């Protein structure tokens, strides 16, 4: 996965050169963690690990820069719009 595939134009940073290293570190973490799993059903193949690592780095960049989905998640209006869109809140999900 291209770790900057979803980066918005104009949001380049001087630290972007470090992102491939972060992706590699996450991949190593996932591989090491999977070695401890006893069930193969929970293991990800090589492509899935690479894709997930890249997506997580993209997400971290968005949250750090308050852009993209990271900005959407930190906006109070987003939570309200999701609730208004039919997604029940935690209180609404509790049985009476």
First-last CA distance in the chain = 46
pLDDT of residue 77: 57
- Cα–Cα dist 93/8, whole Å: 36
Domain ranges within the chain, ordered by starting residue? 17-82
In angstroms, how far is CA 24 from the centroid of its own chain?
15
What are the pLDDT digits (tens) for 32-51? Answer: 999 998 888 889 999 999 99
Q: Which segments in the chain show pLDDT lower than 70?
A: 1-11, 70, 74-96
pLDDT of residue 87: 57
pLDDT of residue 78: 47
Structure tokens at 52: 């997930």
pTM for this prediction: 0.63
């Amino acid at each position: 996965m291209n770790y900057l595939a979803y980066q918005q134009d104009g949001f380049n940073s001087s630290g972007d050169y470090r992102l491939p290293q972060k992706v590699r570190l996450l991949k190593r973490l996932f591989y090491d963690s999977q070695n401890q799993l006893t069930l193969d059903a929970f293991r990800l193949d090589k492509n899935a690990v690479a894709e997930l690592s890249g997506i997580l780095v993209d997400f971290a960049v968005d949250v750090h820069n308050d852009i993209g989905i990271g900005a959407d998640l930190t906006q109070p209006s987003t939570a309200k719009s999701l609730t208004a869109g039919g997604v029940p809140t935690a209180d609404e999900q509790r049985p009476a």
